[in-house]
Structures are given as structure tokens and as C-alpha cells.
Amino acid sequence: MRHVVPVLVGALVVALLVLGYGKTFFKPPQQPDVIEGQGGWLYVGWDRLVDDYPRNARAAVKLAGRVDREFKGRGQRLLVMVVPNKGRVVPEHLPDRQRAAVERSEGYGKLIASLRAAGVQVFDTYPLLEAAHRRDGRAYSPRDAHWTAHTAEEAAVAAVPLVKAMGGLPGPPGGGDQIAGWETVRRYPDLVVILRRQGVMTYGEDAFEERVYTPPTGKWGPVAVVGSSFVDRKYGFPQMLSHLLDRPVTRRVEFGLEGAWQAMAEQLKDRSAPPQKVVVWQVSEGSFANGDAPAAVEAYFKGGKAGK
């Protein structure tokens, strides 16, 4: 009996620790900022599949529907351009565990379907990206988090008929961005920059093909492109869209996983210029999965500034 009591006490202590601190003891290891895959490919460590965070995805879809209704109340139209995770389009270079998760994933298709069920006009870029990857492997850059400039321009081409289908754009044609040829620029890809800041010097500069564009005029345009770094001028989506529509295109970009939502909150609050007829909103899959990313848009609606 003398030996039984200490054993029981010990078991009770362990049970209490598990109940009280289990979340700490059994918390899964934090994902690295950069996942090093096979063949020198790098992936964003903080991207999440929507399959793993269905509650976050449902809340984000509901919020996107509210954004859509807000713009409709202003006489504007919203086109949500969804960009899948890099690993979903190029899974073959991922480490085995992440690749297996992508291969059994069905959440992305459900995300697109739920957005459409919420009444949101969606431009799903996955088919375009998958086709580009199968064709020449240039949908995404191997060591950059983003699509290539070639693919960004393909996305702009595909977006044009969707924008035009939303109604005639105000103002006469003219004022679209002018484009020239391609040039090769050498720089550190963004994921390499992150690794180098962490002391990992394995990777050097890469060659990127970028289009030469006439600098923006700063004029107001009937179309706005809002989103994260995927629609930064470096990749060329807003410029090509402007060129093909032959209209100035206003651009509002914020970087980071929450950037698309921060940029949208700014777009919703901005009443300093005539409203755009069409707002093209780029949002990444990982941004739908992250519960904290939509905070800026949530704050906008909680602030009571939305239309009735």
C-alpha cells in the first residue's frame, strides 16, 4: 500500500498537467517561414490549406459576401480573384508529408463553391495556373512565393471578359498602361531573402522575366485592383489589365498574409475619389484559412460605417 499511494499521486499529477497544460505540451511544432522542398524549390511556410481550417474559411467567405453586398449597395461590382497555395499547384517538389496533404485535399474546390453560393462573382485562377505549370513549369517561380509575370499576365487576359460582363465602364477608352518587351532582372527571390535573414545562405539570386511598362499616370480609373503582393506591379497583373481594357486601373496593395484584407478595408473606407465601377479583389487561399487575416475588414463593418 505504501508503494501504491505514490504511484496514484504521480498519476494524478500527470493527469492534471495534461488537462491544464496539454495545449502547451502537445502543441504541434510551429511551421517554418520557408519550407525547403526537393530540387531547390521553396514554399511559403505559413500558407495553410483551407481543408485544415474550415471554420476560418466559412467565416472569411461570409465576410466576402458582406463585402460584395456593400459594393452592390454603392452601385459597384466585385470580382474576387482567388489564388491557390503554391503547393497546391506545384505539389511534386514538396516534402512528402505536405505533398500527401495536398493530394488528399478537397477544400479548395469547396471554397470556390461556397463563395459562389454566397453570391460572390469568382475568378478561380487554379485552372489557369495548373495549365501553365503543366505547359512549361512557369506558373510559380521555384524560390519565390508568387506567380510569374507571364502567369500574372495570363490571369489579366482571363479577367478582362469577366470585368466587361459586369457592365460598361464609365468614361471614354484611353489611358490604359502601355507595354513594351520583356527584360531579365536578377534579384533574390522573396523566400531566399527570408532564409538569408535567418542565416541560411544556400540560395543566391535568380533571373526573373518582367515586362517593361510605361509608369502609371496616377489618373483615376473605373477599375480598381485590390489585394496582396500577387497584384504588385512587379508581376504585372494590373498593368496588363489596364492595357487590355484601355482604361486606367487604380491599384491598392498591402503585403503579407493579411494584406488583401487590409487593402480591402482601405478601399471600403476611401471616399476621396469617384467610385470604381468594378473592384477586382485578389485573395490567396492561405488568407482564407488564417483566422486573423480578415481582421481589418471585420473592424470596418463593426465600426458601423457600412451601407444599409
Judge whether 239 lies within some domain: yes
* Total of domains in the chain: 1
Judge whether 66 lies within some domain: yes
Q: Amino acid identity of 22?
A: G
CA distances (Å), origin 107, targets 27, 35, 255, 285:
24, 21, 25, 10
Judge whether 251 lies within some domain: yes
pTM listed for this prediction: 0.87
Judge whether 200 lies within some domain: no
Residue 215 banded pLDDT, cuts 50, 70, 90:
low
Judge whether 14 lies within some domain: no
Judge whether 113 lies within some domain: yes
CA atoms within 13 A on the CB side of 8: 5
Judge whether 137 lies within some domain: yes
Q: In terms of residue numbers, what domain contains 271?
A: 39-177+222-302
Judge whether 82 lies within some domain: yes
- Helices and strands (H and E) in the chain: how many: 12, 9
Q: What is the mean pLDDT of residues 80-88?
A: 96
Is pLDDT above 50 for 194?
yes
CA distance 209 to 188: 13
H-type alpha helices, the chain: 4-25, 54-73, 86-89, 96-103, 107-117, 126-136, 149-164, 190-197, 237-245, 259-269, 285-289, 295-302
Q: What is the mean pLDDT of residues 112-133?
A: 97
CA distance 200 to 158: 38
Express each pLDDT in 139-158 by its tens digit: 999 999 999 999 999 999 99
